[in-house]
Amino acid sequence: MLTAMADQQPITVVIPTLNEAPCIRAAVESVAGGASEVIVVDGGSADATVPEATSAGARVIAGPRGRASQMQAGAREAVGDWLVFLHADTRLEAGWCDALRALDARFVAGAFRFRLDSPRGRYRLVEGAVRLRCSALGLPYGDQAIFVRREAFVACGGFGDVPILEDVDLVRRLRRCGPLAFPAAHAMTSARRWEEGGFLRTTLLNWLVVVLGSAGFPRRRLARLYAIRG
Share of the chain above pLDDT 70, in %: 96
pLDDT of residue 228: 62
Backbone angles phi, psi at 17, to 5 degrees: -135, 150
Which tens digit of pLDDT belongs to each residue from 137-172? 999 999 999 999 999 999 999 999 899 999 999 999
Nearest to 191 by CA among 95, 126, 96: 126
Look at the alpha carbons of 100, 141, 54, 150 in this order and tell me if their dihedral is positive or negative. positive
Per-chain mean pLDDT for the chain: 93
E strand or H helix that includes residue 193? helix 192-197
The pLDDT value given to residue 6: 37
Q: What is the dihedral of CA 43, 49, 51, 53, to 10 degrees?
A: -90
Task: Provide CB contacts within 8 A for 43, sequence distance 6+.
Answer: 16, 17, 18, 62, 63, 64, 65, 66, 70
Q: How far apart are CA 66 and CA 213, in angstroms?
A: 17
Each domain of the chain, given as residue ranges in start order, spans: 11-190, 195-230
pLDDT of 76-122, one tens digit each?
Answer: 999 999 999 999 999 999 999 999 999 999 999 999 999 999 999 99
Which CATH fold would you assign to the domain 11-190? Spore Coat Polysaccharide Biosynthesis Protein SpsA; Chain A (3.90.550)
Q: Give me the pLDDT at residue 14, please.
A: 98
Span 175-198, average pLDDT: 95
For 9-55, write each residue's pLDDT tens digit.
899 999 999 999 999 999 999 999 999 999 999 999 999 999 999 99
Rounded percentage of the chain residues whose pLDDT exceeds 90: 88
